[in-house]
Structures are given as C-alpha cells and as structure tokens.
Homo-oligomer: A and B are copies of this chain.
Amino acid sequence: MIIGLLGFGTIGAGVYEIIKERGAAEVRYVLDIREIGIPELTHNMEDILADSEVDTVVEVMGGLHPAYEFVTAAMKAGKSVVTANKYLVATFYDELIALAKEMGVAFRCTAAVGGGIGWLTALEKAKRAERITALEGIMNGTTNYILSNMKEKGLSFETALSEAQALGYAEADPSADIDGLDIMHKVMLSANVAYDVSVKKEELFVAGIRTITDEDVKAFGEKGLTCKILGSAFENDGAVAAFVQPTLLPADSMTASVPANFNLISYEAEHSGKMSFFGQGAGRYPTAANAVQDCLDLAAGKKEFYTNESKQIALSNDKVSYRYYIRTTAKSAKALCKEPFGPGYLTEKMSVAEMQAAMVKIKAEDEKVFIAALAE
C-alpha cells in the first residue's frame, strides 16, 4: 500500500508515526501548506493524483474545502480514500459513496465517529449477523469533559469550558462541540450505516449544552440524575428517528459514569442485545490508530463502504417520546411546563418532533432556554 497523506496536523502526524512504526505501508507524500521538515512533504495535490502507484489517500486535514475537492479527485483518479472527517462525509454522503462505488474504490471513515473506538466497523460487523434497532451514546469528548467537570466540581459552564480550552480539549470557537453539531454528524453517519439509509442533516433535532447552568446541574444531582449530551438514532419498521440532546440519566448508570473526555457508544442488536464501546473519543493517537486500521482493512482486501444501501428517507422523530426538563422564560413554553423541577419544569411525555417544533418558537423568545430529555 502506497499512501498520500492529506494533512500533517494532530491526527496526520499520528497516522504518519504509527504507519512508520509498524512498517504497515509506505507514506509517499504528505500534503500540507506549511513547511514541515519531512522528506515526503508536498504542497501540491497534483503530485499525489499523478502518481499511479499511490493507491490510497488518507484525508485528515478536516473541514469541507478543499477536503471535498481532494477526496473526490482522488477517487476519480482510482484511489481508495480513508478519512477521519465526519463533517465531510456527513455533508456529501450520497455523492461520496456513489462515487466510490462508481470508481470501484474503497471508502472508509472509521475514525470519524468515536475517535479511537472502531464504532462504524463494529456496526458493519454486527449487521452481518443481526439487525440493529437502536444506537445511542456519548459521542463527543469535549462536552462530556465540560459536563463531568460541572458535576464534579460545581463549576459554571463558562469556567468548565475555559478549562477544556486550556487543556486543548475544546477549540477556540467551541460552537461545533457545545451546540451539538459534531455529534449531529456522528449520529448521521451512524444511522446511515446501521439502518442502510441516508438521513437529511436539517431534519435532525439538535439541542446543545451552551445554556446549561450550574444550578441546573446541581438540581439534577439532588434528584440522583446526571446530565450527558447523547446522540441517538432508533429504527422501527423502516421509520428512523435521529437526534442530539442533553439527557438526564440515573447517576449510577454506566453512561452517567463516563469520565473526562471519553466516549461510550452503544447499539441494540436483535440477538446480542446491548453492546457498548468505550474509549478515547478524540486525540492524536486514538483517532490516528483507527485511520491506520482502515488502511490495514484496505490492505487486507476490504473494498466496500460499511453499507451497500443508502435509501434517502425522511426522519420520524414523532415516533420517540420523552418527558423533558425545560428551563426558560419564554411565554410560548408555558403550556409545556407541567411540574416544577429544580430551576425549571418537567413536561408531560412529548415526542422529539414536538419538542423540535416547540424549540423554534421558544428560542426566538429566550435564547438562554435549556432542555434535557429525561431517560426512561
């Protein structure tokens, strides 16, 4: 295997290092705009595209552009693609898997979901023997770090976020993490693979943790509950629900006990029941190790994407219901607030779709609204 590596940032340097260490393949080119002192460096994607001996392009530069242009050009040049870029794959899902199929190249993105956890390959494998009916979990280390620290140290959201930024767990602009968009892309990919569908980004309900307060967290704790932000996707008889929302879990449950910046992702399978995978959700080496695993799968002859089907569907978020915690000053939420609960209220049981619709109005009145589903 001869590799063109796109990007020599945190993940790229890890991929480079692990591949060299294992002697698993040859990294012939490393594309980066910076002057980095390695002999494989090139600033020109054409070098990689024009070298017919390069059979695999590993894209770990992140972002939509030029990652999209480079990945599609690589496929069109007959090269297989491994990427860790959830934003890219979720955004251009239909096009990328169609192009890979058309060109007869492999396309893998295991490192895009769960960092060091081989989540998408675990789903792919489980599906050989059984149907998946649910998937859910902690899919973002930054927000788990913030929520864990708020709970354990009684920190405000702002302080917990600053600590996460100081430790390099959160970006300078943390929006993708704290607003749930990173998790949204991971849920989309997971649901697509698990259920052989292609879901639409704009249909997912996505609620983040930007507005959670230490008073919220304290009140949850007093009630024996721990707040985690979960990505979820359920399938029943062809109907798929998919969403991202803060969720209140029993404090002694396994998901509630996930520490620091770890991830814990679970599926429910027809025969095996609940299976969960815990590991580093991000970081140079865990993520890089999964990108290398994808390369090794390709070298071992793997040619397929994780699924051969991708039926475009509309989401059915009306099929899944929760009682919600809601704290808001919005008048439009008044009818929902049934029962006092800490600094906010609990709603009656309502569907995710109903909350999704309600939140559009509520947010227009009160941008500090915070909601969390109460796990059953």
Contacts and interface: CB of A to CB of B under 8 A. Distances in A.
A209 B258 CA distance: 27
Interface string A10-32: 00001000100010100000000
Contact of A273 (B122, B125, B128, B280): B280
Contacts of A92: none
Contacts of A18: 129-130, 271
B279 A272 contact: yes
B293 A271 contact: no
A169 to B, nearest CB: 14
A24 B278 contact: no
Contacts of A259: 254
A22 B129 contact: yes
Contacts of A278: 254, 266, 274-278
A205 interface: no
A286 interface: yes
Given A273-B280, A273-B286, A292 B129 contact: yes
Interface residues of A, number: 43
Contact of A293 (B117, B125, B285): B125
A96 to B, nearest CB: 24
Contacts of A128: 22, 24, 293, 296
Interface in A84-141: 116-118, 122, 125, 128-130
Contacts of A271: 14, 18, 116, 285-286, 288-289
Given A118-B125, A129-B22, A277-B277, A285 B272 contact: yes
A358 B279 CA distance: 37
B257 A286 contact: no
Interface string A283-299: 10110111011001000
B273 A285 contact: yes
Contacts of A130: 18, 289
A269 interface: yes
Contact of A116 (B116, B273, B288, B292): B273
Interface string A348-366: 0000000000000000000
A252 interface: yes
Given A14-B271, A275-B278, 18 more contacts: A18-B129, A18-B271, A22-B128, A24-B128, A24-B129, A116-B271, A116-B275, A129-B293, A254-B258, A254-B259, A254-B278, A272-B290, A273-B280, A273-B283, A273-B285, A273-B286, A274-B280, A277-B277
